[in-house]
Homo-oligomer: A and B are copies of this chain.
Amino acid sequence: MSQLTPPEGTGTVAAKRFTFAPRMAKTPKSFIREILKVTERPEVISFAGGLPSPALIDVEGIRAATVSVLEQDGQVALQYSTTEGYLPLRQFIADRYRSRLGLQVSPDEILITNGSQQCLDLIGKVIIGTGDHVGIERPGYLGAIQAFSLYEPVFHPVTLHNDGPDREELEAACRASPVKMFYGVPNSQNPSGITYSESCRKEVARIMEENGGLFVEDDAYGELNFSGSSMPSIRSFLPGQTVITGSFSKILAPGMRMGWVVAPPAIMEQLVIAKQASDLHSNYLSQRIAYEYLSHQDIDSHIRKIRRAYRHQRDIMIRMLEEKFPESVSYTCPLGGMFVWITLPPGCSSMAVFESALKKNVAVLPGLPFYVDGGGSNTLRLNFSNSTPDDIEEGMKRLAGVIMEMCIQ
Chain A contacts to B: CB under 8 angstroms? 1, 4-6, 8-18, 20-24, 27, 29-30, 33, 51-52, 54-55, 57, 59-60, 62-63, 66-67, 70-71, 74-81, 83, 102-104, 106, 113-115, 117-118, 121, 125-130, 132, 143, 146-147, 149-151, 199, 202-203, 205-206, 209, 212, 214, 235-241, 249, 253-257, 264-267, 270, 273-274, 276-286
Q: How far is the CB of A30 from chain B (nearest CB, A)?
A: 6
Q: How far, in angstroms, from A381 to B167 measured CA to CA in the complex?
A: 56
Q: Is B274 a contact partner of A77 (Cβ separation < 8 A)?
A: no
Residue numbers in B under 8 Å from A282 (CB-CB): 114, 257
Residue numbers in B under 8 Å from A51 (CB-CB): 79-80
Q: Is A256 a contact partner of B241 (Cβ separation < 8 A)?
A: no
Q: Is A8 a contact partner of B78 (Cβ separation < 8 A)?
A: no
Residue numbers in B under 8 Å from A106 (CB-CB): 10
A8 CB contact (under 8 Å) in B10, B104, B130, B270: B104
Q: Is the interface of A mostly helix, strand, loop or mixed?
A: helix
Residue numbers in B under 8 Å from A15 (CB-CB): 240-241, 264-267
A264 CB contact (under 8 Å) in B12, B127, B257, B277: B12
Q: How far is the CB of A83 from chain B (nearest CB, A)?
A: 7
Q: How far, in angstroms, from A113 to B279 measured CA to CA in the complex?
A: 9
Residue numbers in B under 8 Å from A77 (CB-CB): 255
Closest to A203 in B: B1
Q: Is B132 a contact partner of A279 (Cβ separation < 8 A)?
A: no
Q: Is B67 a contact partner of A267 (Cβ separation < 8 A)?
A: no
Q: Is A240 a contact partner of B12 (Cβ separation < 8 A)?
A: yes
Q: Is A14 a contact partner of B57 (Cβ separation < 8 A)?
A: no
A278 CB contact (under 8 Å) in B24, B121, B202, B254: B121
A-B residue pairs in contact (CB < 8 Å), sample of 6: A20-B270, A115-B280, A143-B277, A143-B280, A257-B280, A257-B282
Q: How far is the CB of A54 from chain B (nearest CB, A)?
A: 4
Closest to A259 in B: B279
Q: Is A277 a contact partner of B147 (Cβ separation < 8 A)?
A: yes
Closest to A66 in B: B66
A54 CB contact (under 8 Å) in B14, B75, B147: B75
Q: Is B104 a contact partner of A9 (Cβ separation < 8 A)?
A: yes
